[in-house]
Amino acid sequence: MTKKEREELMLKKLFEMKKFEKELHDQGVRYIGGVDEVGRGPLAGPVVAACVVLPADFDVPGLDDSKKLTEKRRNEMMKVIHDNAVAYGLGMADEKAIDRINILEATKEAMRIAIAQADKMLLKKTGGRLEHILFDAMEIKDIEIPQTSLVKGDGRSVSIAAASILAKVTRDAMMVRYSEKYPGYSFEKNKGYGTRQHYEGIREHGICPIHRRSFLKKITGE
């Protein structure tokens, strides 16, 4: 594939991924927050959520589901998001919250924080408030903002894709820092997911403070 062909595909993808936002903008909705999370499946570390509000004229190709992008590309797009977003917010629920209220509720809590932070930035920068939320296959009924849940939304909505990138880059960086504090588990490589090296580390060193005990009941006996 030539460079020109790749660029044409990226532009086509961008056009397709702006469909949901465009429909809302055409209805008069100004500020749309795309929301996604990273880290529901790992054995260790937090779940991190992000909410991103992009301008209606956002025209930078390359956004996609963070899992489909290389680390280098994610970092490049992170800068694009910071430079172009109208507003954004991050939320986190740590391993203690996950063990206490379960991963689904912890994910929702992280999303609530991210939405609140984005709304606060939006109000400060524009005087406006979030008017609609696009979730990636999620619904939070106690948030009094109109919302739409999109299955595989991180690959279908430019705002959700931006949120997935922001959340993943943030969480990955956290897990790299944790690898220095808790060596022996290969957190810098597996980011807390249950790889062979991770399980070998648990067998050799036991669980560490950032492990999710509710995910490791067969090992902890709890």
CATH number at residue 140: 3.30.420.10
Binned at pLDDT 50, 70 and 90, residue 221 comes out as low
Give the mean pLDDT of 134-151. Answer: 95
Q: In the beta sheet, which residues pair with residue 91?
A: 49
CA distance 51 to 170: 13
Q: Residue 19: is its pLDDT beyond 70? A: yes
Tokens of 173: 């960086």
Does residue 104 form part of some domain? yes
Task: State the chain's mean pLDDT as an integer.
Answer: 95
Q: Residue 110: is its pLDDT beyond 90? A: yes
Give the mean pLDDT of 70-88. Answer: 96
| HSE, side-chain direction, 13 A CA sphere, residue 194 | 8
Does residue 120 form part of some domain? yes
pLDDT digits (tens, 9 = 90+) for 169-195: 999 999 999 999 999 999 999 999 999
Place of tokens 């489909």: 68
Does residue 67 form part of some domain? yes
Q: Residue 142: is its pLDDT beyond 90? A: yes
Does residue 81 form part of some domain? yes
174 close to 48: Cβ distance less than 8 angstroms: yes
% of the chain exceeding 70 in pLDDT: 99
- Those residues with Cβ within 8 angstroms of residue 10's Cβ, 6 or more apart along the chain or in another chain: 61, 62
Amino acid at 155: G
Does residue 26 form part of some domain? yes
Give the mean pLDDT of 43-72. Answer: 95
Does residue 177 form part of some domain? no
Q: Residue 1: is its pLDDT beyond 90? A: no
Q: Residue 222: is its pLDDT beyond 70? A: no
Q: What are phi and psi of 101, to 5 degrees?
A: -120, 0
49 close to 111: Cβ distance less than 8 angstroms: yes
**What integer pLDDT is reported at residue 16 of this predicted model?**
95
Q: Residue 196: is its pLDDT beyond 90? A: yes
Of 203, 166, 167, residue with least CA distance to 43: 203
Does residue 204 form part of some domain? no
Does residue 203 form part of some domain? no
CA distance 215 to 210: 12
**Structural domain of 25:** 3-170
**What integer pLDDT is reported at residue 219 of this predicted model?**
78
User: For the chain, how many structural domains are there in total?
Assistant: 1
Q: In the beta sheet, which residues pair with residue 136?
A: 150
